[in-house]
A and B are shown apart, each in its own frame.
Chain A
Amino acid sequence: MVRWMLGVLALMLFAVANAQSSDAEKEAELRQLRERVAVLERLVQTLQAELASLKRNGTAPSNLQPSAIQQPSDEERRRLEQELQKALQQAPPTPAPSPAPPTYGAVVFGGGAYQALNPDTSVIANFRTAFRGRRPFAAFGGSEFSEAELAFQAATDPFSRLDTFIAVGPEGAEIEEATLSILDPSFLRLPRGLQFRLGLLRAPFGQLNNIHPPEQPFVDTPLVHRLWFGHKHGNNENGNGHEHGDNENGNGHEHEIRPEQIPTEGSFVGTGLSLNWMVPTGKHLTWLTVAPLNTHNSVFDADTRRPAWLFRLRHMRELSLTQSLNLGLNYAFGRNDLGKDTKLFGVDVTYRWRPLKEGLYRSLVWQTEAYWGWRGTDNGDVKPKGWFTMVEYQLSRTLFLGARYDFAQAPDKSFSGRGFSLAITLFPSEFGRYRLQWSRLKIGGRTVHEVWLQTTLSIGVHRPHPL
């Protein structure tokens, strides 16, 4: 009996122990399941969010794109690239005749989804009014001028982009810049440190010349730009009879030239090619640019057979987290309107300061450029020079104060001019700007005061200049 009872007890104990162990297993299993559910829950949330993102952007996230396929190591990649390059250099096999391609109606390519691929479009409206006289506001016989700059900018493919700027004013429309930039020349089997620009370019000469006039810190461009690059040969821009090359020795300018005869803006532009190489110089940044350009202005009269050659070495270095310095050396040579050699040499220095914490409210940019020219004439070389220095200080979040002093001799040294300008600029937002500028100009022995009002408004997308 006792044995029988002990047997029953042992069985019960075994059953309880077994139940306990199975409970523990179940609990562990349950915990595992809970964890898996939590993981799946997070996965579902992530997928839902990714789906929402896809719907929002109409694009696949980069981590879902084919690039997610495992990449080979650098060594393997280089070997593979060499193999492929060899394979590609071999003559292609004769292709098998393919069926006629399907024809697509306009409907196929006219869908709304393709709107997303439209270029970034913007309009910068630049309204300017000048009051000129011997004293400020003494004479209102000034000129009025306004123009709109239309910009169309987009990547054309993974390797290049196209930027087109068209200026539209009372005198008509003019292409200011139309540039195809090859940003990744790997398809040409060239090193990736190179970039090309083709088309109608802003010449790589000096720092300020890279900036479109409506975005510059003064209403007008410095005198040296206006006198040297503001006129085009055979093109009487302002209808005021100021043309070059109308005199055998190139010295046909009247000394008593009126300020109105000098264009308000001058930019060194030309058609051709610009090759830019990022020189590996450690932690600082150095760019070397070479550009053969077809350009017509008061300095050069170059064409495609005899282009003007421009060289620019630009070095940018950080002085601290808040300060940087940009140094440029520029050299150009080509033919002038007399068919003689002309050389230009330029130096530019730009200093920038923007504090870290107060960067929204304070900043300073100081920029100086000096140019020297050697212009060949029948009577020997003429050596004009010109320079400007300007500073812009940010007084508050929306208010900027600028001052500029500039000097320039005409390319044929027939006269010289100097000027001093003060400008106060209000930016109520990133896309609107209002400016009041006073300038005192002394040109060809005559002093003139100018008061400018400028309103610049931008709609659409406009890409800022990086540095």
Chain B
Amino acid sequence: MKRMLVWLIVALVALMLAIAPGAARKLRVVATTNDLKWAVEQIGGKNVEVVALMHPLQNPHTVQPRPSFIVQLNRADLLVRIGLDYEEPWLPPLVEESRNPKIRRGGVGDVDASIGIPLLEIPQGRITREQGEVHIFGNPHYWLDPENMKIIARNIANGLRRIDPANADEYERNLKRLERMMDDLLDETLKLAAPLRGEKFVAYHTTWSYLANRYGFRVIGYLEPKPGIPPSASHLADLIVRMRQEKAKVIIKEPFYENRIPNMVAQRTGAKVVEICPTVGGEPDTETYPKLLRHILTKLVNAVQSVK
């Protein structure tokens, strides 16, 4: 038995040492969301192959890690994440299990896309679980603002330059191109979203704060009484009264939230429920970030106009 054990260990070590690193190839980038994937593709161009971990229709707060996540993270040269505490429940243990020191916090291949983002809704004072599943660093749904997409892109370009300095100039050129694209997109979408200015909405979750901030509409309340806490009857009653008072006529919900409660509130307030996926690729004709933004704003404008 002892001899067998020794041979087994020797065979395993030999097999491990036999696995040599691969030849020259594209940079492997893992992005946690499709929005980041799109940005990496814009900056990295032909030098990168990118995969997104989360499916756009998945609730980011309840992601069930799949085995392939660890395999992809193990092979990654760069990990691009939304950061703050957006992927906090599930990503850090996977990064540890991936055995890839490059993508660990502070590693050369770790890109926190939130660096430099002017954050909204940073909790003030002492934070406790009484506040629900509160985002302790501020609202992490920051990508739905073209100005923030430019910052995301700069963070990605910095990350790519770190691991692939030979193509630094190309990444810089692509970054400039994306910044111009975002400037044009902002001009275009500000015109498109003009009817939303000053309008009041109700949302299921705090996904839309940055969009509202950029395009001048307000989210006056949420179906969740506190982030991550299921709606209760008393909270919904208060919300319905407020919606009536403030004449909020549109409820925004993401595809991964149930329909029953939004419909219930809509019936009692005469509001319209509009289902919008906040992520690239979650709905038809949203396979790029500019298309996603146009799609979201068009849906909101149509919803506002239909209830007037």
Chain A positions near chain B (C-beta within 8 angstroms): 42, 45-46, 48-50, 52-53, 56-57, 61-63, 65, 67-68, 70-71, 73-74, 78, 158-159, 161, 181, 183-184, 186, 191-195, 277-278, 280, 282-285, 288, 290, 309, 316-318, 321, 324, 326, 333, 352, 354, 356-361, 363, 397-398, 428-431, 459, 463-467
Contact = CB atoms under 8 A, between A and B. Distances in A.
Given A46-B151, A430-B133, A71 B96 contact: no
Contacts of A158: 101, 104, 106
B21 interface: yes
Interface in B1-40: 1, 5, 9, 12, 16-17, 19, 21, 24
A192 B16 CA distance: 10
Contact of B258 (A161, A191, A361, A430): A361
Contacts of B67: 284-285, 316-318, 324, 326, 467
B255 A61 contact: no
Contacts of B132: 429
A74 B65 contact: no
A124 to B, nearest CB: 13
Nearest to A325: B67
Contact of A62 (B65, B110, B137): B110
B106 A67 contact: yes
A316 B69 CA distance: 11
Given A42-B150, A285-B71, A360-B256, A50 B116 contact: yes
B306 interface: no
B1 A333 contact: yes
Interface stretch (B161-169, B265-273, B284-292): B161-169
A200 to B, nearest CB: 19
Given A194-B16, A283-B68, A359-B62, A183 B117 contact: no
A467 B65 contact: yes
Nearest to A73: B166
A309 B256 CA distance: 46
Contacts, number: 176
A111 B107 CA distance: 27
Contact of B90 (A285, A290, A466): A466
A321 B93 CA distance: 20
Contact of B100 (A46, A192, A288): A192
B57 interface: yes
B93 A431 contact: no
- Provide the main secondary structure of the chain A interface: mixed
Given A285-B67, A459-B129, 18 more contacts: A46-B151, A49-B116, A57-B137, A70-B162, A71-B163, A73-B166, A158-B104, A183-B101, A183-B104, A191-B16, A285-B71, A318-B66, A359-B256, A398-B230, A428-B229, A430-B133, A464-B90, A466-B90
A183 B255 contact: no
B117 A49 contact: yes
A73 B23 CA distance: 12
Nearest to A431: B129
A284 B70 CA distance: 9
Contact of A192 (B92, B101, B118, B161): B101
B237 to A, nearest CB: 19
Contact of B96 (A183, A309, A398): A183
Contacts of A360: 59, 61-62, 256-258
A409 B131 CA distance: 48
B58 A62 contact: no
B278 interface: no
A63 B70 contact: no
Interface in B101-146: 101, 104, 106-108, 110-112, 114-119, 122, 129, 132-133, 137-138
Contacts of A464: 89-90, 93
A49 B152 CA distance: 12
Q: Give the interface size class of chain B.
A: 35 or more
Nearest to B102: A192
B206 interface: no
Contact of A318 (B68, B110, B116): B68
A327 B229 CA distance: 35
B151 A65 contact: no
A357 B158 contact: no
A466 B62 CA distance: 12
Interface in B159-182: 159, 161-163, 165-166, 168, 179
B286 to A, nearest CB: 16
Contacts of B96: 161, 181, 183, 466
Nearest to A290: B9
A70 B137 CA distance: 30
Contact of B93 (A194, A430, A465): A465
A356 B165 CA distance: 38
Contacts of A333: 1
Contacts of A70: 161-162, 165, 168
B198 interface: no
Nearest to A192: B99
Given A429-B129, A467-B70, A354 B64 contact: yes
A309 B108 contact: no
A288 B258 CA distance: 41
B58 A359 contact: yes
Contact of B111 (A62, A74, A78, A184): A62
A148 B28 CA distance: 44
A434 to B, nearest CB: 15
A74 B89 CA distance: 33
Contact of A61 (B68, B93, B112, B163): B112
11 contacts: A50-B115, A62-B159, A70-B168, A181-B96, A184-B101, A191-B19, A193-B74, A280-B19, A321-B66, A360-B258, A467-B67
Contacts of B108: 67, 71
B151 A49 contact: yes
B55 A49 contact: no
Contacts of B246: none
Contacts of B258: 358, 360-361, 397
Contact of B55 (A63, A280, A321): A321
A288 B15 CA distance: 13
B228 interface: yes
A52 B137 CA distance: 12
Contacts of A326: 67
